[in-house]
Amino acid sequence: MDSDRSGVLTEVSVQEPKANPRGKAVAGAAPPPVVISTKATTTSNPKGGWRRGFAIFDLVLRLCGIAVALAATAIMGTTQQTLPFFTQFFQFQAQYNDLPTFTFFVIANAIASGYLVLSLPFSIICIVRPHLRGLRILLIILDTLMIGLAMAAAASAATIADLAQNGNSNANWAPICQQFDDFCQSITEAVQSSFAVAVIFILLVVFSSLALRRN
């Protein structure tokens, strides 16, 4: 009997009482009564409500995640800046694929966007059937992998963005943002968006875990 769905657990037991323990027939006595007991236990089921609430929040988070991840991908993928002067040796043009970290950033955020889009139907199924535990666990596992991917992309790009901004005198790496200010502005926005994507994935795992509490 699935107590999750009904909310009211009704148990009906029909019992034939055993014969008179004395083993004697009683003249004129009515046949032993059949005892029908109906035990209605009202298990209050407010849990389905919050579980569906979590599922709706999950869907909203995924929609936000898609928007933010696409924004991060687009900002990083389209930014480029060419300085209005050049020398014999340098072209003074900056775009994302000048640095392998930013290429990884674009690929990782594109994967995150695609995954979030593909996960939408499963999130909707979790709203319709909030007690599907296996599907939610599958989403937790995939979201966990995506935390790793999104955080790796955001952190590595943030490292390069910081280096481009401030440089490092110990390693003799000069900052480049004094020249490529627009480029640096764009990659900073993309990095912030990517951190937001990672946080969204963390929230997805946290709320999905909370939705797995005991009924």
1 binds a second copy (CB under 8 A): no
For every residue of the chain, DSSP letters joined together read: --HHHHSEEEEEEEE-PPPPTT--PPTTPPPPPPEEEEEEEE----HHHHHHHHHHHHHHHHHHHHHHHHHHHHHHHH-EEE-S---SS---EEEGGGSHHHHHHHHHHHHHHHHHHHHHHHHHHHHHSTT-HHHHHHHHHHHHHHHHHHHHHHHHHHHHHHHHHH-BTTTTB---TTT-HHHHHHHHHHHHHHHHHHHHHHHHHHHHHHTTS--
Residues 25-64 that bind a second copy (CB under 8 A): 26-30, 32-33, 35, 37, 39
Interface pick for a second copy out of 83, 118, 141, 178 (rule CB under 8 A)? 141
Kindly state the smallest distance separating residue 172's Cβ from a second copy, in Å: 7
Q: Verify binding: residue 8, a second copy, rule CB under 8 A.
A: no
Binding a second copy (rule: CB under 8 A), the pick from 3, 78, 174, 182 is: 174
Q: Would you count residue 214 as binding a second copy (CB under 8 A)?
A: yes
Q: Is 160 in the site for a second copy (CB under 8 A)?
A: yes
Out of 6, 43, 159, 178, the only residue in the binding site for a second copy (CB under 8 A) is: 159
Q: Are residues 117 and 66 in contact, defined by beta-carbon separation less than 8 angstroms?
A: yes
Taking each helix axis from N to C end, the angle separating 47-78 and 181-210, rounded to the nearest 10 degrees, works out to 160
For position 83 contacting a second copy by CB under 8 A, the verdict is no
Stretch that binds a second copy, among 67-75, 80-88, 118-126, 164-172 (CB under 8 A): 164-172
- Residue (71 or 94) nearer to a second copy, CB: 94
Total number of residues that touch a second copy (CB under 8 A): 59
**Residue 105, number of CB atoms within 10 A of its CB:** 29
The 97-136 contact track toward a second copy, x by CB under 8 A, reads -xxxx-------------------------------xx--
Residue found by looking up tokens 């657990």 in the block: 9
Cα 88 from chain centre: 51
Q: Smaller CB distance to a second copy: residue 162 or 189? A: 162
The footprint of a second copy (CB under 8 A) covers: 13, 15, 17-18, 20-22, 26-30, 32-33, 35, 37, 39, 94, 98-101, 133-134, 137, 140-141, 144-145, 147-148, 151-156, 158-160, 162-164, 168, 170-174, 176, 198, 202, 205-206, 209-210, 212-214
